Structure 1
Amino acid sequence: MIEWFTIVQVSVAVAAGLLCVVLGLAGRKPSDLTMGAAALVEVLLIAQLVIAIASPAFGNEPTGSLLEFYIYLVSAVLLPVAGGFWALIERSRWSTVVLGAVCLAVAVMVYRMNVIWFVQGA
C-alpha cells in the first residue's frame, strides 16, 4: 500500500460521495456524472488491489493482519459495483444517495486499510 495513493483515494471517494448525496437529495436521478464518480472510485480500488498484491514483493510489508486487509479491500471493491447496479435498476433520487453512501463507505474502508497496513501491530 502506498500512503500518498491512499490519501488521494480517500479524497476522491469523499468528494464523489458528497457529490452524489447532494445531487440525490436535490432530486437528481443517477446520471453520467454520478455513475462516473462511482466508477472513478472503483478504478482507484482496482489500482489499490494491484498495489496491495505487488507491495510485499517490493519490501512494503503490512504491520497488521493481511487477511483483515484483504477482506476490507475485496468488500470495498464490490461496493461500488453493487451500488452502480442498484442505481441502474432503480432510477430514482434515492439510488443516487445510495451511490453517495457507497462512496463514503469506501472512503472509511480505505482509511481503515491504511491503518491495518501502516499502524496496527499484528
Structure 2
Amino acid sequence: MIGWYTAAQIVVAVAAGVLCLVLGFAGRRPSDLSVGSLALVVLLLIAQIVVAVIAPLVGNPPSGSLLEFWVYLVSAVLLPPAAVFWALLERSRWSTVIMGVAALSVAIMVWRMHVIWTVQVA
C-alpha cells in the first residue's frame, strides 16, 4: 500500500462519514451530497484494488496475511454501495446516518489494511 494514498483514503472516508452523520442528525434525507460523498469513497477503494494488485508485482509485498487484506478490501468496497442501497430504499434521516457509519467503518478498515500490509510479520 502507498502511505500517502492510505492517509488520503482515511481522510476522505472520515469526512464523508462526519458529513453524513451531521446531515442525518440534522434531519436531512439522503441527497446527492451524501450519496456522492460515499461514491467518492468507493472510487478511492476501487483505485486501491488496482494498487493492491500491482504493488506485489513491483516489489512491495504485504508483510501480513494477504487473504486477510483482501477480505478487508472486498468488504470495504461492498459496504458503501450497500449503505446507499439501503438509504435509497428507506429514504429517512436514519438512512443518512447509516451511510455515515458505513463511511467511518471504511476508514477503520482502510487503516487495518494498511497495518496488515506494512506492520505485521507473517
- Calculate the TM-score normalised by the size of structure 1: 0.99
Taking the aligned partners of 2:4 and 2:60, their CA distance within structure 1 comes to 14
Q: Which amino acid aligns with 1:31?
A: S
Tell me the SS of whatever aligns to 1:120.
Answer: coil
C-alpha displacement of 1:62: 0.4
Taking the aligned partners of 1:46 and 1:89, their CA distance within structure 2 comes to 24
* 1:1-122 map, 5 Å: 1-122=1-122
Query: Over aligned residues, Cα RMSD in angstroms?
Result: 0.4
Q: Give me the identity figure in percent.
A: 66
Which 4+ runs in 1 deviate beyond 2 A? none
Taking the aligned partners of 1:48 and 1:108, their CA distance within structure 2 comes to 15
C-alpha displacement of 1:48: 0.4
Q: Which amino acid aligns with 2:19?
A: L
- Calculate the TM-score normalised by the size of structure 2: 0.99
Taking the aligned partners of 1:104 and 1:82, their CA distance within structure 2 comes to 14
Q: Which amino acid aligns with 1:75?
A: S
Runs of 5+ consecutive residues of structure 1 not aligned to the other structure = none
